[in-house]
Amino acid sequence: MENNNEKKRRFLIALDLDGTLLADSANGTMHPKTEEAIKKAVSQGHIVSIITGRPWRSTKPIYEKLGLNAIVGNYNGAHIHNPSDPFFIPTISYLDLNEVLYILGDKKVANEITNYAIEGPDWVQLKHRDPNLEKVFNFNQATKFREEIALEKLPLKPTGIIFDCKTTTNVVDLLTYLKRRYGDLGEFSSWSKGDGLSPIFDITSIGVGKGKVISLIMRYYNIDIDDTVVIGDSFNDASMYEVGNVGVAPANAEPYIKQLSTVVMKETNKEGAVGYFIESFLKNPDKYIKLGKKRQEKNRDNLQIVKADNFYNEEE
């Protein structure tokens, strides 16, 4: 006799796009194995959610091709919505324009920026055209697109800012600087738009993060914390691993993301890492869930209380 509880069990699989689900960011293509495995997961009733730094307009073609029907997190979670449910009330987090311009005017930051865009859910202002940037963000598909930063015509509450940097920019150094210097004004992250291309940085409102989108999705679909899988590759994905149980990294992921992961795949995003993992997970989910719980327990054990006598003593 079939176990009714097992029959109804659903898993949450939260996926980053660029460098993870997509094999080629510029062309929006994915490995056949990844496409096949995601469609299979959806057909079995599991929740597959895209959580990305991209806006909805450049996420939509992938969402529709995969036949997804779940909540989406765009702008790293600044825009949370469900395209398949007209009754789902979207959540949008806005930035203060004056504070953003203040950050962009910082000499250290300005020295690294080569291009930037200020945007909301239906509008974009871009400093200058760039095919590599536009392939990822589809700026010209925005309802209101302006090829200039017209400060006198900018809404005061943008959803997010993205800026392109030099190919020589030290990502970790600049990201660390932004978080330390302006951590009270916004959330900062960085990710790749493709091999050999310059890194992208983005700024979103305080409190915005991919991990918080996963918390919302778990509650909305009533999914057990242990039954969550997260897959990403870059710094803007880190918060997902703090919330999800089974953390997965493709072979091309940043070393930091690999350290946070339960499973590091031998395949890259171009080789179908997401697809191969989902296929393996669906065959034996409890194996990976158990590994994830062990990782979580290990992380908790590492949070040791520092005794007073371990602090530096000026007299020593």
- List active site positions: 16
Q: How many CB atoms lie within 10 A of CB 305?
A: 5
Backbone dihedral region for residue 294 (phi beyond 0: left; psi -120 to 50: alpha; all else: beta) = alpha
For 78-101, b/e burial (b = at least 16 CB within 10 A) is bbbbbbeeeeeeebebebebebbe
C-alpha–C-alpha distance, residues 104 and 87, integer Å: 37
Ranges assigned E (strand) in 111-245: 113-120, 123-126, 144-146, 160-165, 187-192, 199-204, 228-231
| Residue of 250, 208, 256 lying closest to 15 (CA atoms) | 250
Neighbours of 28 (CB within 10 A): 19
Amino acid at 12: L
Give the separation between CA 226 and CA 219, rounded to whole angstroms.
13
H or E stretch covering 252: none
